Amino acid sequence: MIVKATREGLLGHPTASGYVIDRVVPFVALPSRGALGKFVRISNPANGRATYAIVLDVGPWNIADDAYVFGGARPAAESGESLSNQGTNKSGIDLGEAVWKALGLADNDQVDWEFVV
């Protein structure tokens, strides 16, 4: 599914899985606890680059958007509403530094992602 991606920037902080964020491990965050530990393929439609990553965090913005993550619905964050009613930047996936670099991103942009079985 093509969604807006943002960079997970909390280096040195723990994720929902307990992983401490670094610049090496290729990981992403999706807004469902059920996605933790699953693998995804992410591609950059703008340049054709792709990589694989593991879901090690929950977000962005929401923690139980199963309709998006597993059901094919659009991310709830796209509406601009978060669980905490603080608003969002309309992103559907957060990318760790290694994924960000592998995709050749320079700013928040569209990516395509899918689970790998």
Per-residue HEC secondary structure of 42-63 comes to EECCCCCCEEEEEEEEECCCCC
The pTM for the full model equals: 0.94
How far apart CA 100 and CA 82 sit, in angstroms, is: 23
Q: How far apart are CA 27 and CA 8, in angstroms?
A: 9
CATH superfamily of 2-115: RlpA-like domain (2.40.40.10)
Residue 27 — pLDDT band, cuts 50, 70, 90?
very high
Find out whether 1 and 43 touch, Cβ atoms under 8 Å: no
Banded model confidence at residue 8, pLDDT cuts 50, 70, 90: very high
The domains of the chain are located at: 2-115
Amino acid, res. 4 = K
Whether 61 and 88 have beta carbons less than 8 Å apart is answered as yes
Task: Look at residue 117 in the predicted model and tell me its pLDDT.
Answer: 84
User: What pLDDT is recorded for position 3?
Assistant: 97
| Helix (H) or strand (E) segment spanning residue 66 | helix 66-69
As a whole number, the mean pLDDT across the chain is 94
For 64-93, write each residue's pLDDT tens digit. Answer: 999 999 999 999 999 887 877 778 899 999
